[in-house]
Structure 1
Amino acid sequence: MNTSEIKIIKLKGNPRTRGEILGKQLKRLIKKHLNIIKLLIFEYYQTNPIEIINDFFKNTKILESAIKLTPHLIEEVEGVAEGSGNDFKEIFATQCIDELIWYKFEKNTRFSNQCSALGILKDKDFPSIIAQNVDHINIFRDYGLILHIFDHKTSLESFIYSLSGLIALTGINNRAIAVCTNGLSLELNYSIEGLPVSFIVREILAQETYNDAIEVIQNIKQASGQNYLIGSLDNIISFECSGNSIVQYPRDKRVNRIYHTNHALVNKDLLNSSLNIAHVMEENKSLERFNFLEKHLNDSSVIITFKKLRDILSSHEGFICRHPDETPEGSSTIASVIYLLSKSPEMYVSEGMPCSNEYKKFTFL
């Protein structure tokens, strides 16, 4: 799929209605996406995927946490299940790919996230910007889409980049609040009582102010190791989150920029795992990507124009723009997003690898 073909789904009404719209419009793709999840589980465990999913619900309280903390999002997922004609628990499980990493895929680095994110605080010439290359398993290519969500009680709107049937990967709202993520599930601790990453992203984007968005991170129990880069008109901030700890990763105030890949930098709540983290970092090129971003962002004399930013995200140096043939674990850059956080916020999306696909602009009316 190229950028011009990306699907845009408008979701209006109450949460259940929005979910039903999504489920009905993407019924075929959601079924295929769900079958991919089941296939991955079967390939790894040679076990009936339904047994693994039922085991996940039996041995965690993630669903209970979502019901308690975000009942509106549970209603939306119920709507997706109903609209697409699938079992609710199976659709909920697709929202929990980060959680399945530590629950059942903990020794399989194929399932590790490999996203690269960066933020640039505003100056006199440019607004604040945060951006991300979304790296995922190759099999999820061509499932990307944009959700344009309208809150049924307020004037809040959001653009969310996601996959078929998934409620969020990354996004921006019309209050100029945006969030990018980096998976840290193979290194940081988890909680069986936390809220899934996709739900936290949606909660951040449901906020009207930067301070309210920060409170979501600080006050909600996290299910998975994850870095959240949050931007607004006047601020950019990054938090490394784990099941037991939330630690701010400070931006370099000399240049007012920040960048993150897929290894923990400040959070010490490490997973008790037999995984060789150095080997994981070598496979997902996290350190190389971090060093590349540092090289291009830590010089305050270099102005980061929009073109310069696109060049950084499209670069093959440092493995920022990842191609399927470069990654033995079978992952690649499935999309790239740039959020301009002005009073009229803008979202730019390149579906597929940004080195070979143009960015498409999305604005709120």
Structure 2
Amino acid sequence: MFQEVLGAYGLNVEKFKIEPFGSGLINHTWKVYSEELAYILQEVNTEVFRQPQNIAQNIETIKKYLDQTAPKYLFVAPISTTDGNDFVVIDDHFYRVFPFVENSCSIDFVHRPEQAYHAAKQFGKFTRMLCAFNVKKLKPTIEDFHNLPLRVEQFKTALEQATKERIKEAKFAIEEIIRHYDIEEQYGHMVDSSALNLRVVHHDTKISNVLLQVDTGVGLCVIDLDTVMPGYFISDVGDMMRTYLSEANEEEKDFSKIAIREDVFAAIHKGYMEEMDPVLNFTEKQFFIYAGKFMIYMQAVRFIADFLNGDTYYKTNYAGHNLVRGLNQIDLLNKYIEKQSRFEEIIKKINQDRMSDSKTILN
């Protein structure tokens, strides 16, 4: 396989070392390197991305736009084969090659607020640079990816069809999902009232999807662009809240380890809004805190629905794994909601400091 794929790019497989790379759970990724050259080789998971051609088309369309409007921006797009193709297809498997960005690195967890700041700034910058781009040119790469009303309907269906044993086991989780139905209702009102603008958003803003400079830790660019498609800014902000705020991730069984780091929340807001403040309208800015509730709740709903369905979607490693994941996210959600007044104070302080800095510069 390696010989055939690399050969399509004019590369001699015998001159390179090849080893697994990164921590992604969807696509298979390898680093292909020699003393002089380095690339990233990836096989696209077509069970998740059923129309990989849409990914290629979206990336190429965005690349052409950024080449014209922001030619200095580091946009890591796949390189073309010697025949000018975006993919190499072997036995219905789709492969592509990216340039390896030297002196860059990625991390899997947010250990310090400044890491969250640089990541949020890069995701904000990406959407800001595409604010004048015609979002209708992009095709969905995963249908209904962040469609919260659909996820709630799927939960209701799962609840109707679940066994008595699973319903009994998930009793508390089910009650909590129902108790927070207002989060989905608010989302519906926001969309129906056109309070949110459709934008180009990344949709998968975990910290590992940002390249950082090795020496300084400064953000370089966003990567893993397969989920880039039309959406609302709350998807990107919410996913950062869900995955950055607590040191304990969704796999943690000891919920006492789930804690909201206020300094990380402040870093996310500061980094993202440094880029997006001129772009978001007044109404959208009022939903910044809501974004966290939106994404955390949706993930909890998905885990519990899958548990009720008999664990048919997410891979599980032990009995009740999806229930534990769902309860984990419910705990995170409740702790996030408890912090809402503090979040409002933090945002107010950041905005006051920004205005003070602006006045100082003008004077």
Coarse TM-score class (shorter-chain normalised): under 0.3
Greater helix fraction, Structure 1 or Structure 2:
2
Greater strand fraction, Structure 1 or Structure 2:
1
